[in-house]
Structure 1
Amino acid sequence: MADEDNSDQPVRKSRNVKFMERIDSSEEVINTDREGYQTPTPNERHNIKTKESDDKFDWCGLCYEDFQDPRILPCMHTFCFKCLDEFVEQTSEENKFPCPLCKISTSIPNGGVTAFKSNIYVSAMQASLQMEAKKSVCETCEEALEAQTYCLECKQNFCNKCGNIHLKMKLSKEHHLVNSLQTAEKDGHRMKSYTFCDDHRQEITLYCCDCSIPLCDACQIDSHEEHDLQNIVEYAKETKQDLQNSIDLLNNYLPSLKDRLTDVQLYEKEFVTAKQNLAGVIKARAVALHKEIDDVSDKFLEEIEKEIQVEEDRSKIFKSRVSEAVRFASQQITAANHYISFGSNPDVAAGRDTLRRHLHAAFKLLPVGFIPRVNVIFSSSNSGDTISREMFGNISKRGKLNMDLKQEASYKVPGQHLIRGIAPVSGGKAWVACGFDQRLHLINRLGSRIRTIRLGKEIDIDYVTSDSNDSVYISCRKNRCVKVLNRDVRIRDLAILNDYPRGIALSHTSDLLVCATKSSTYDNYKHSDKNVVMKYTHNGKVITEFERSKQHMKYPRRITENINGDIYVSDHKESCVHVLTLEGRHKRKYTGTEGNLIGEPCGLTCDRYGHVLVTDYKNHCVHLLDQQGQHLCNILTEKDGIKNPFSVAVDDDGFLWLGCSLGMVHIFQYLL
């Protein structure tokens, strides 16, 4: 309980609190005179300062403290041994656990967490800092020259001469010598070591581009003579430059990520002021109207608390994502910097693909996007003599988004048909279904058509969606089936239905969700029809059926799954959007807001931050909802040149695709 006295108990900070403290030693300035929420001013932004010493993120991603016995995973992310051991114990299943940072499944070695290698690069960084902080002398030569290198294995200081001898000795030839900054500037290496082939015990000198492995000269003779080989030094140099280019690009985005985090922090601070101001206004109004309205006053205070809680929950979700993006991007930079600075040439060469994959994965989190802001406003009523809720006032929300959608391109599909479905694929392209037709059109973000394919005369396409492999799933209404079109443009049947398939979507577990109706169009709907949502495996086998017994939905038309597992279904007959749990239980329905009721909900999609986009065909607009299904704003309206929006999709690069009447497809910059 928040009011309990825990003064005698040690306080253990949560991971999020410790992360925020590590990221930010903030001195926020909040304008307490204003009501509601406002975007922070530039001065307020600059009052949130980041520790310069923490910019490199050279600390554990689990405890947010300096590394203690750092252990590196196969995905090249590093954590304290103790932290990693506790994490594995809590999360492991079937001898595997997800990396705390990138979530990649990792097998536990035979010796347990102890068997994971120590991160030699973190140790090298720590040794390098110690060498600069305290000058030492060589511990082996009689001249007592100034130490220029430090052996991580022997924990001894050497001058350059003794260090070179140390690496030539049989027992220490594979040791790692960390150079002082002065020495590193001369030979270009922060750490010096030699790597030897496990099979022949010869020094690694080559890299096989065909096999993607470092080699010695004997390996070349044995089995790689006909392969594409490159000198390991040159290959490592190219790899370092390639990684550095990616690091530079990611570093340019990191400040914007931190700005987003700052915005959320300031927004959270405003909750306190807003709650106090709103409560004060309501209480003053209650005193003016005396005891007759005390009951109404209490109800309003409860509603304010509820609405503020919604905003706090939304902010926490957004802050968690931004924090994860900052942490993920920064850890990628750190891991790559370690390899560039201290990695041996073979290590750099061997780790190239993994490091590049992680650096490129970090770009998918960028930019973080927009921060939804909603004002909770109390308005007094001055009419009437009877004390009532209406006379006391009302609570409303006014949303504001710091975003500006810019139209990238438009494309008109031949004919005057309605764009029924859009399925984005890689390369800035999307498959478009127009009308109940047998054709699919592939267009790009420049508004150009690349190709058109026909699925057959008897096929009418109602909707399309796609997966991460660029396979396209097609609901064929009259044929009562769902087909799959792979990247090679080969088509096959996935599922045969007894009902008419309308909207379809893929879940996060790759299951197929299908809106199944008894009539081919909503005009033929009968009250006795049992229209449902079906779930199929990726092989087309039925898993379950939603809502047949409870009958919450009248005519499910389109469907999508959000990142939290909630399922959104647009219902044409009820003019609403149903929200279901992952198991299919009905949670709530969205009908719009006061003065902004949804007219004819059609297309649905979710972006990577959990926002839900709903097209309103009748009112010529697109509703934007938060992850809780609360309305934020209409991001596109008829003023933006939108006419009868029907289908909507967001591609992996953050572009918004909108399909409308008259064969029009509009493409907007959205999460950019």
Structure 2
Amino acid sequence: MELQCGLCGQQYSRPRVLSCLHTFCLACLESLMKRQDREGEVCCPVCQQRTLLPSSDPSTLPSDPIIDALLEVKSVEAGAVTCTSCEENSSAVCRCLDCAAFLCRNCQGAHRFMKCFKSHRLVELENLSISDLASPLKLLTCTKHTGEFLEFYCNTCDALVCLKCTAIDHRRTSHQYVYVKDAAAVMKERMLYLLENGRKRSEEVRVQLLRMEEKIDHVEVEKMKVKGEVDKVFHTLLSKLEDRQEEMCKEVETLYLRQKQFLNKQGKSLQLDEERLQAGTRFVEKLMTYGSTSDLLTCGKLVTSQFDLLFKQCPGNDMKSSGAVGVSVDYHAFGNLLSRIQIQIKTVPKIGVSSPVTQAGCSAVGESHRVESGSAEATPPSPKEQFSPSSSRSNLSEERKGSDSAQMDVTELHKVRSFGKRENAGNCPYLTCVAVGANGNIYALDMYKSVVQVFDKEGKYCFNIGGRFQAPGRLEKPVELATSSKGYIAVRESNGRMQIYSDTGQFIFKFQLLRVQRPRSMAIDRKGRFLVGDVGTDRCPHGVVIYSSDGKLLRKITKLSAYTSSLAMSAQNHLLVVDHRAHCIQVYSEEGNHLRTIYPRGSRIYMRGIIVNQNKIILVTSEKVRNNMYCGGLVVMAKDGTVLDKFKFPEKQPVVHVALTQDGCPLAILQGNSDICLYGSIYSK
């Protein structure tokens, strides 16, 4: 866990928690208040949420109990803890879990000797853990009654109280109080509810951010589209409309500048909302993991207030489809055209947090909402409205359905020839996977015989790799293969083993796939590392497991937003993961950091696989045949998501697996066919 303050960059000193659940040093907050010069409040430098301080004293803010406990652990590891039971400042050697005190050697002996401490548990510092520092049995002492533990929780006053407090200030006649343990159990259930909903809301806001980024890009595209329509109209009326043409182009620029600024403002607001939700869920996670019952009750009101505030600020709004933008000219009314050609404003969907955004087009016919030349400006930005991102996924899905109509023509692939290793009747290969090596050779996996068939560039059979009875390098139920730019072949077996061969078929080494529950896909990056996609289980999260070039486990990337169904590596060694549920491609760095999301533009594409070839992304589309999913065709796409070409396979038989040669010729394995089909290049259309 990070122990550095986000303001000073140093280790936390007297950490304090703001109402947004961000933690900073007390001294940093005091300096921040002086710089902000706000009376009775401080503004969080991360999410910009205000925290009220009626006394203008940051020291009255609650401390972060988990950070305090971690700092104590770090002090213990550094040997910088002194005895808190005596005044000699001797070095501590143990900690009493019941007194929550560090003890020196003398105090340790006295603690064991005295009868009143006979049942107390002492733990040596070298055996101390954070769970000991945040023991669920640890009780705070009352500030009003010395030596009294806070054993009760007053529901009426929302405060921890001791036994004497219940008899004096919190009598049963007017106050309702319960044991700390019982109150903590109720608070824990509430925390779990807040944690679950906070995670969901954080994910939904993240989807809204992706949607916002797409809208900002869409604004630029629409701007160019509308400017083109304006140019087309004025080309017809060139002589008399030149002056008006310049004015309207300026109007378009001004209008879309406002829209872009407005969308950027919305995006920033969404980022702040996401940051607050993530901060809240992180705080609750560490509180639930390491906090004691007292910590839960101490911070419960603060956490509840913050999540209530965030949930109130997050109602939803419906996204309605926008009307088409176009140019309309009445050539029969040419004499009045100059005064009638105007920038037409049409309402488009709300995006997340505010009022409808406007969309513009050039029109010569009057509309109910418009911006006249020289008239008052359009007013899309209104004060921030409440929103709920709960429907963001369905709204995004519905909008993508509406874009399916803009599909381009699909080209049927031209079959050049088919090739394969000829066998006797009844002994045909059962090919399931095909790949192309760095030397141009073609490798086909035969699951029935547990071999890899090797063909040269022309499709001539060369030799087999593996085999049931070959040792070393014997294959047992191979299910997938991948090739490397360094010239070797990796074969994954169903028993969780990976075997590596040279391009000449020589066995190199093998290793076991560790930390993989349900492998689904694999790839080899430009550094020679092996990447295996794991769809995971209920107890094990999905992700990508990375092994070194010699088969050693490096790490497992589990913070992937995409369901790991197919992998590919880009020329920059970025990891491309097909997210078939969201119909997009998620791009991650080598360390697993999310870089961007690529949506195919113009239509929804049901993806089965992904190939990176000649600096382009080739998507293998999915097709359902007799309740089974197969490869339906290929979509050539640029890095920004622009769809360049679409192809389909001419055969009626389902396609099981697809690969591309170095010059862009597709290779396909058909169901029930022992041959490999070769098609013409997808780049020579």
Tell me if TM exceeds 0.5: no
TM-score by length of 1: 0.40
Q: How does the TM-score come out when normalised to structure 2? A: 0.39
Rg (Cα) greater in structure: 2
